[in-house]
């Protein structure tokens, strides 16, 4: 299983437009992808669910862990990490 730890750089965190872009890209992947706060507290959510991503309440400067398993997972993880880490 591949994994990326990313510090969210956007001022709004992983909300609204960044979350929508993140979910749209995740939905194109054939495998299951999860996202969780690195600090714990809440269980991982489906990266293909906009409600799940918004429920994590990820703010600027917080670190998330993105996990995926399957063919092409590393490429997808790189793309999702770039989206989450873009200011």
pLDDT tens by residue, 10-50 = 999 998 899 999 999 999 999 999 999 999 888 999 999 99
Q: What is the pLDDT of residue 20?
A: 95
pLDDT digits (tens, 9 = 90+) for 46-68: 999 999 999 999 999 999 999 99
Phi, psi at 85, each rounded to 5°:
-90, 0
Q: What is the pLDDT of residue 66?
A: 98
Q: Which of 15, 29, 34, 83 is catalytic?
A: 15
Angle at 46 between CA 40 and CA 49, to 5 degrees: 120
CA distance 37 to 2: 16
Q: What is the pLDDT of residue 8?
A: 96
pTM check: above 0.75: yes
Task: Reply yes or no on whether 15 is catalytic.
Answer: yes
């Amino acid at each position: 299983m591949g994994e990326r730890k990313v510090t969210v750089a956007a001022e709004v965190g992983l909300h609204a437009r960044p979350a929508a872009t993140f979910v749209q890209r995740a939905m194109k992947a054939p495998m299951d992808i999860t996202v969780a706060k690195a600090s714990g507290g809440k269980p991982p959510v489906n990266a293909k669910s906009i409600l799940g991503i918004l429920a994590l309440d990820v703010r600027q400067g917080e670190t998330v862990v993105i996990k995926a398993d399957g063919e092409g997972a590393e490429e997808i993880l790189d793309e999702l990490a770039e989206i989450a880490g873009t200011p």
